[in-house]
């Protein structure tokens, strides 16, 4: 039976993109007609939504099912829905992602963009997978759909990589940190060992022209060749293992180039040492130092890359740290601290000044001021009363409340924002997809060029043909080792999204980063986000004979003991640094403060406070 499905599209930037998606959809036998714009597609036919989304993804773009409630809602803060102010990262074009279950996998063995492409293809072929996003920076994969976790791990293993499913956020965080530290240490010492041997060897060879094999240094080079092999095994075994796995799976990665380049250089050099008579005197140049230098520099590059990834991931870690480890439970036994992981919806929790909200909930009793800048971008703290919604990660600046937990764990607004930032790091802009397509054929093309270059020198080059052929082919393989395109593009995306998150800017998709270079106008929907981030005293109005300074000093003396945001502004304006001699200070919730200063009873607050005290 024919039906029409609406898809929200992302990543289309021109008419060519629209044409490509339209042709991809209409080539399906179960699609009758597809109307496509840069933002959406109306598809008529018998195809289901998952199949259509997969087709758009295969064309190099993103798609999600567009539902009837996809438009932004005017009710901002509910327990089941994040505030629209917060979701500069999550708009109506992603409802399908929110509805689908997700699995987080930690991937081992990925080194470049072609590895990412292979893992993504392997995961997308698993039954039930709607979408797979692989994050090279975090060495992880986010899989959306109803797939069996064991099948996901098996698919990654079959592709030549290792994987483990980690759905618990804290467990994932601990394992990633442990893996990152271990990788950093390994790359660092491997780089140090290789360079410690390679640099002196290179300098010795360059200074005395000792890279040429002669009768006088034959024994020395034989020993250095054996030592070089040991250094290569110790510092580069992971490259050779990865290259072998790729070869068994019928593919090639950056590690294949590293293995071919360093291996060819060593094999050629050791062949010269073992059979010098086969090579003319002018072709007896040795490249032992090149093998270890390449391994040392690439290991150093991996160590620096690991350091950059850890730095860019700190933005996510800071978001995770906004959630406290414990919550204050209120029950028949009184107040007691419990782990946040034990909090269940419906529990009653207490918050006091200085606490961070552990889970999303609704205030039952009390009143407090909440700093929600990390969530909404609004610098001014918000006053919350019974019935108001509060959100995990926000800070209680002043007051005390009891609230009922509504959303916990991965269902809180903060958790969804963290998940969206992670998805943004895993997403690819158009330039990233171009890099993937290039890197997929990069290694085979380089190997082909090396073979053609060697053949040309063998057929048409000067004597000795075989020596020049080996030198030229080896040189092409060596200089192509650091597959920069496959590393620079994903790392720039990770660094960009991570740095934006550090500054409080949440990016929904990497395409937004690429398109941001074309922005010439920014429009803000409210002025609160453009302030200095804290209230300031702008004017002091006095009555009678009092001076501005005396009124401000008296008000600051009263407000010194208060944690209210406006109280801090008054104290800052008065430049009061020492606590005043104030007696009987007390906070009157929702109205103001009172106290006795120099024998006088003082009140400071709103009209309700003055009315209750009989003051006109």
Asked if 236 and 255 count as a contact pair (C-beta separation under 8 A), the reply is no
**The predicted structure's pLDDT at residue 558:** 86
Residue ranges of alpha helices (H) inside 209-287 are 218-248, 254-274
pLDDT in tens, 200-212: 988 887 776 677 8
Residue 455 reports pLDDT greater than 90? yes
**Distance of alpha carbon 457 from its chain centroid, rounded?**
47
DSSP symbols for 41-100: EEEEES--HHHHHHHHHHTT-EEEEPPTT-SPPS---BTTB--TTTTTS--TT-HHHHHS
pLDDT in tens, 234-265: 999 988 988 888 787 777 777 787 888 888 88
Confidence of residue 88 (pLDDT cuts 50, 70, 90): very low
**The predicted structure's pLDDT at residue 269:** 87
**Whole-Å CA distances, 133 to 175, 276, 319:** 19, 52, 21
Q: Is 525 a catalytic residue?
A: yes
- Select from 12, 15, 19, 73 the least CA-distant residue to 40: 12
- Rounded CA-CA distance 235/238 in Å is 8
The CA-based angle 71-73-75, given to 5 degrees, is: 175
Q: Which of 26-30, 97-101, 166-170 has the lowest mean pLDDT?
A: 97-101
Residue 18 reports pLDDT greater than 90? no
**The predicted structure's pLDDT at residue 547:** 87
What mean pLDDT do residues 116-145 have? 82
**The predicted structure's pLDDT at residue 360:** 92
**Whole-Å CA distances, 500 to 195, 244, 316, 374, 376:** 35, 38, 11, 13, 15
Enumerate long-range contacts of 65-74, CB under 8 Å, 24 or more apart: 65/5, 65/6, 65/7, 65/8, 65/95, 65/96, 66/6, 66/7, 66/8, 66/40, 66/92, 66/93, 66/95, 67/95, 67/96, 69/95, 70/8, 70/95
Among 29, 525, 545, 616, the one annotated catalytic: 525
- Rounded CA-CA distance 135/138 in Å is 6
Cis (ω within 30 of 0) for the bond into 311?
no
What mean pLDDT do residues 407-415 have? 83
Higher model confidence: residue 78 or residue 384? 384
pLDDT in tens, 259-270: 888 888 898 889
**The predicted structure's pLDDT at residue 449:** 92
SS3 472: helix
**The predicted structure's pLDDT at residue 389:** 92
**The predicted structure's pLDDT at residue 94:** 37
**The predicted structure's pLDDT at residue 312:** 61
Mean pLDDT of the chain: 79
What mean pLDDT do residues 174-178 have? 75
What DSSP element (H or E) covers 205? helix 169-207
Q: Which of 8-17, 24-33, 266-275, 392-401 has the lowest mean pLDDT?
A: 8-17
- Select from 307, 406, 302 the least CA-distant residue to 348: 406
Higher model confidence: residue 435 or residue 344? 344
- Rounded CA-CA distance 65/415 in Å is 22
Confidence of residue 169 (pLDDT cuts 50, 70, 90): low
Confidence of residue 586 (pLDDT cuts 50, 70, 90): confident
Q: Which of 31-45, 158-172, 395-409, 568-582 has the lowest mean pLDDT?
A: 158-172
Highest mean pLDDT, choosing among 191-195, 269-273, 421-425, 438-442: 191-195
Residue 358 reports pLDDT greater than 70? yes
**The predicted structure's pLDDT at residue 257:** 78
What mean pLDDT do residues 154-162 have? 86
Residue 71 reports pLDDT greater than 60? no
pLDDT in tens, 273-326: 888 887 777 777 888 888 899 899 888 877 877 776 666 666 666 766 778 888
% of the chain surpassing 70 pLDDT = 81
């Amino acid at each position: 039976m024919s039906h029409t499905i609406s898809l929200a599209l992302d990543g289309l930037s021109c008419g060519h993109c629209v044409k490509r998606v339209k042709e991809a959809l209409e080539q399906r036998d179960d699609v009758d007609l597809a109307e496509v714009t840069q933002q959406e597609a109306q598809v008529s036919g018998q195809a289901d939504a998952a199949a259509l989304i997969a087709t758009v993804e295969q064309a190099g773009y993103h798609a999600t099912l567009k539902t009837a409630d996809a438009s932004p809602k005017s009710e901002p803060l509910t327990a089941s829905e994040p505030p629209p102010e917060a979701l500069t990262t999550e708009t109506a074009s992603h409802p399908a992602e929110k509805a689908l279950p997700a699995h987080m996998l930690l991937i081992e063995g990925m080194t470049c963009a072609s590895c990412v492409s292979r893992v993504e293809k392997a995961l997308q072929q698993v039954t039930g997978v709607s979408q797979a996003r692989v994050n090279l920076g975090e060495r992880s994969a986010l899989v959306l759909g109803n797939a069996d976790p064991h099948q996901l791990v098996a698919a990654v293993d079959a592709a030549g990589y290792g994987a483990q499913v980690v759905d618990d956020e804290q467990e994932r965080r601990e394992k990633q940190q442990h893996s990152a530290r271990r990788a950093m240490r390994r790359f660092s010492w491997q780089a140090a060992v290789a360079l410690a041997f390679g640099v002196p060897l290179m300098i010795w060879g360059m200074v005395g022209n000792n890279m040429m094999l002669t009768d006088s240094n034959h024994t020395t080079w034989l020993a250095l060749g054996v030592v070089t092999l040991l250094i290569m095994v110790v510092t580069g075994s992971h490259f050779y293992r990865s290259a072998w796995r790729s070869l068994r799976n019928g593919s090639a990665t950056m590690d294949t180039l590293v293995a071919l380049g360093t291996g060819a250089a060593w094999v050629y050099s050791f062949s010269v040492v073992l059979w010098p008579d086969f090579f003319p005197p002018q072709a007896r140049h040795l490249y032992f130092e090149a093998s270890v230098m390449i391994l040392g520099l690439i290991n150093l590059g991996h160590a620096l890359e690991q350091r950059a990834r850890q730095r860019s991931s700190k933005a996510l870690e800071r978001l995770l740290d906004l959630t406290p480890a414990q919550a204050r439970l209120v029950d028949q036994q009184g107040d007691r601290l419990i782990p946040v992981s034990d909090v269940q919806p419906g529990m009653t929790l207490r918050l006091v000044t200085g606490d961070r909200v552990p889970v999303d909930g609704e205030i039952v009793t009390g009143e407090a001021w909440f700093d929600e800048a990390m969530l909404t971008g609004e610098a001014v703290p918000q006053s919350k009363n019974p019935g108001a919604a509060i959100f995990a990660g926000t800070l209680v600046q002043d007051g005390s409340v009891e609230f009922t937990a509504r959303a916990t764990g991965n269902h809180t607004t903060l958790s969804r924002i963290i998940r969206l930032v992670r998805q943004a790091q895993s997403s690819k802009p158009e330039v990233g997809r171009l890099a993937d397509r290039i890197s997929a054929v990069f290694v085979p093309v380089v190997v082909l060029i090396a073979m053609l270059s060697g053949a040309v020198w063998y057929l048409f080059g000067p004597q000795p043909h075989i020596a020049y052929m080996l030198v030229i082919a080896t040189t092409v393989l060596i200089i192509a080792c650091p597959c920069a395109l496959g590393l620079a593009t994903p790392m720039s995306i990770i660094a960009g999204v991570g740095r934006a998150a550090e500054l409080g800017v949440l990016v929904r998709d990497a395409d937004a980063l690429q398109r941001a270079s074309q922005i010439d106008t920014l429009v803000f929907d409210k002025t609160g986000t453009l302030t200095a981030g804290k209230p300031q005293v702008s004017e002091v109005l006095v009555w009678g004979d009092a001076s501005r300074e005396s009124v401000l000093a008296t008000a600051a003396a009263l407000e010194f003991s208060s944690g209210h945001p406006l109280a801090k502004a008054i104290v800052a304006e008065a430049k009061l640094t020492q606590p005043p001699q104030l007696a009987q200070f007390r906070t009157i919730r929702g109205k103001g403060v009172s106290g006795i200063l120099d024998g006088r009873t003082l009140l400071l607050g709103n009209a309700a406070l003055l009315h209750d005290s009989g003051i006109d």
